[in-house]
Structure 1
């Protein structure tokens, strides 16, 4: 499938993933020839609203160090859980930066660029989010050169998006392997708070999601297990399973940031 950074005549309906993207537009020298990206102090402020961010399978080992990796929806899309409440990424600080040591998914790093599908011409079209606060006229990193050709910055971003698309397809194939082996099960993340007297309170459900069943994995025929090992899927499965302890980290963060209960005044 071809990719392009310029809008061609007859562009059909464009479809694509829209998390973070408020006003996606096909990158076009006529519309965006004078635009570019400027450096700002809060480059990831846009990601504050993403408590669940799409993830590619190659990112599992690094993402597992930051928080849970789960699968959602009929397609079993893998996502990095970055918050307990919708619209609140707990790892994005008030200054618009990620907390030190937190893995930043490629889905976030590619912003404001994204590929969309041009169904009419069977190709991928490079788009930008025109609503991104750091896209301005005369930006330090222009989208196009004086001859209306993509700048080196745009070329690098296009390559990044191409690599992301390759990884996305590899992720689809990985998920299909798990489906074919019937390894998915419904999992529930829970939290048991503590009463003021120190006794356990009623257990609360945090989330319900799809994950790999360790029982099903361990019952696979030896030849299937070896196949997963040899094609690299086994390591990614274990990264997913290990990541689930990250629910405890999210709960701890939420509790640490919760308003402190009022204290009785000393007599």
Structure 2
């Protein structure tokens, strides 16, 4: 795993959710920069209603909300809001609601690995636009006076390395589900109440990929035991059980809408 940045990184690519200005971390550019501590460091995640998740996080994330698979690559994500750009669990002060699982994708910010396609390697980047990166009054510097990474930076590099390992393991997990043809298209729906109290027309909230319990139950016994023994079965059930979280998100959305309604009527 690459932990240093080349002088000419070439074309960078990769998933950059939250990262508006990623730059390869280099002592020539960032020796005078550091990170300041903030009481609410997760304000940037307010815009993340769907956050990438690694398979090892499924059991913890399942308690917070739905874990679904999206796109052609069947990328697993944690659903944290019903509307694009609105994370329902990040408060205005930049902190998460109590008891909410914070995905590793969020916790590694402002660091991220990006693909250096020209040099065929991974380079460590920071989001230069992160509000807690500063050139004055910082608490943790990126580099020592001699140009070596600080202990803080080394720890962040290790976290990103571990995240990349988990990301690769997640890709293997998804490929396993594809090979067994376990995916099916699913819908999350909400049935509103009419003014007279009767049930209204169901409304589709989301369409996504999920594991089919029917297909899972038809997996040959030997393969089922293999899924159990390699830990995949537990992750599959964590995903399946997490889908009841749609009801929680809908209830939260309705509660927030009701709270805002009186204020709207006063205007």
Give the TM-score of the pair, scaled to structure 2.
0.95
| Matches of 1:215 and 1:242, distance apart in 2 | 15
- Please state if 1:175 is matched with 2:174: yes
The answer to whether the Cα contact below 8 Å between 1:53 and 1:105 also exists between their aligned partners in 2 is: yes
Aligned to 1:79: 77
For 2:104 and 2:64, how far apart are their aligned partners in 1? 14
**Is 1:107 matched with 2:92?**
no
Deviation at 1:259, TM superposition (A): 4.1
| Contact 2:114–2:124 (Cα < 8 Å) also in 1 | yes
Q: CA deviation at 1:202?
A: 1.1
Counterpart for residue 124 of structure 2? 126
Residue 30 (structure 1) aligned with residue 28 (structure 2): yes
1:65 to 44, 56, 63: 63
Tell me if the contact between 1:5 and 1:127 (Cα under 8 Å) persists in the aligned partners: no
**C-alpha distance in 1, partners of 2:168/2:126?**
21
State the distance in 1 between where 2:131 and 2:51 align. 20
Helix, strand or coil: the match of 1:67? coil
> Does structure 1 conserve the Cα–Cα contact (< 8 Å) formed by 2:182 and 2:211?
yes
Distance (Å, rounded) in 1 between the aligned partners of 2:9 and 2:253: 46
Please say which of residues 201-210 and 252-261 is displaced more in the overlay: 252-261
Listed one character per residue, the Cα deviations across residues 11-70 of structure 1 (whole Å, up to 9, x for unaligned) are 221111110000000001111001000012320000000000000000000000000000
C-alpha distance in 2 between matches for 1:101 and 1:158: 27
Tell me the number of residue pairs that the alignment of Structure 1 and Structure 2 aligns: 261
Deviations 1:128-166 (A, max 9, x none): 000000000141100000001000000000000000000
Structure-1 residue corresponding to 2:216 = 217
User: Partners in 1 of 2:23 and 2:59 — Cα distance?
Assistant: 33
- Supply the RMSD in Å over aligned alpha carbons: 1.3
- Contact 1:5–1:26 (Cα < 8 Å) also in 2: no
Counterpart of 2:265 in structure 1 is none
> What is the match of residue 15 of structure 2?
17
> Does the alignment pair 1:186 with 2:188?
no
